[in-house]
Amino acid sequence: MKGRELDYGVHLPVIDFGFERFSLERLCAYVRQAEELGFKAVSTNDHLIYSRPWLDAPTALAAVLSHTGKMAVGTSVALPVVRGPVQLAKALAAIDILSNGRLFVGVGPGSSARDYEIMGIDYEERWKRCDEAVQFLRALWSADGSQFTGRFYSTAGIDLEPKPLQRPSLPIWIGSWGSDAGLRRVARLGDGWLASAYNTTPDQFRLGLEKLRVQLTNIGKDPKSFPNALVTMFMYITAEQAEADRALSETIGALLKRPVDQLRERLLVGDPQACAEKLAAYRAAGVQRVFLWPVSDEVDQLAIFREKVAPLVGASEGIRPR
């Protein structure tokens, strides 16, 4: 994404919002639509237990690979601590091979204490474990025999084969809502930053990006070549106010347990002009890619976005012209 102002990716619809049943046909149709419309990437999010049924993320991503064309494929984010970093490393190496080297790996500890409870892992240790898991994954994927030994994880005696296609390792992006500690972690451990749309604003993102660039410079990384993306941008584009209100309160608000007014300000719910203005503000703040997540009418919503919103943002390079 170097040198690009703004382009667009999509989230796989792995949450059951109650409108459509899960099926391979539905996922494949959605991904084909995204590829045909020129979206640049498809990613999937990860939970074991949630307030709504949640389709297994690596399985769903692997199932649609043959329909992704040249799009990047990735996780946004996967949970190495909850899933176990060896198991996750094995699955993602396979996805990188089967996608011919198009995988990016977004990771984080996750925000669900219940996920940790059912796996018998202390939720309070999640960040310490996640920091180690990132280094552990890099060592497992490395072809040069790199080793890692920490408090929680060690690669001693493990030679996980086959290795991913990408060298020297898979790119690992760190999910962070933008705290000072989180941005230091992104700079220290990451190859990119994944910010959360419903946990930020353009002004907050701009401030976070400025802090991240300082941290990158301090440790000798080039801020200009360090990519970022905004994930979990839930979307429902409609000129009907009543439809927008229902999507915000009954679907997204019920899922996230956030104030509706806050979600209305941050997410792409409403008429095309208002949605384009929000994206333009993020573009001005330095966001390079936005991952969209339609909450219903998924295939149609991608087309509506391409036809009615993207041209207003002025980032036509992210979506193919008609």
List per-block mean pLDDT (blocks of 10 residues) for the chain, which spans 322 residues: 73 94 97 98 95 96 98 97 97 98 97 94 97 98 93 95 96 96 97 97 98 98 97 98 96 95 97 97 97 97 97 61 32
Q: How far, in Å, CA of 291 to CA of 139, rounded?
A: 28
Looking at residue 2, what is its pLDDT?
41
- Residue 261 DSSP one-character state: H
| pTM for the predicted model, two decimal places | 0.94
Q: CA angle 77-83-88, nearest 5°?
A: 75
Q: Which tokens sit at 272? A: 């095309």
Interatomic CA distance for residues 78 and 81, integer angstroms: 9
| Residue 17: DSSP 8-state | -
What integer pLDDT is reported at residue 145 of this predicted model? 83
Q: CA-to-CA distance for 99 and 63, rounded, in angstroms?
A: 11
Do 164 and 97 meet the contact criterion of CB atoms below 8 Å apart? yes
Burial of 191 (0-12, 13-18, 19+ CB in 10 A): middle
- Interatomic CA distance for residues 248 and 134, integer angstroms: 35
Contact between 219 and 279 under an 8 Å Cβ cutoff? The reply is: no
Give every CB contact of residue 197 below 8 A, 6+ residues apart in sequence. Answer: 230, 231, 232, 233, 234, 266, 267, 290
Coil, strand or helix: which one is 295? coil
Helix extents (H) in the chain: 24-36, 57-63, 80-83, 85-98, 113-119, 126-141, 180-189, 202-218, 241-246, 254-256, 260-266, 272-285, 298-304, 310-313
User: Is the separation of the CB atoms in 190 and 173 below 8 Å?
Assistant: yes
Structural domains of the chain, with CATH = 7-318 (3.20.20.30)
The H or E element that residue 31 is part of is helix 24-36
Question: How many helices (DSSP H) and strands (DSSP E) are in the chain?
Answer: 14, 9
Q: How would you classify the pairing of strands 72-78 and 103-107?
A: parallel
pLDDT of residue 320: 42
The encoded tokens of residue 317 equal 């390079």
Structure tokens at 189: 């451990």
User: What is the pLDDT at residue 111?
Assistant: 86
The pair of structure tokens assigned to 192 is: 């990119």
Closest C-alpha among 76, 73, 119 to residue 99: 73
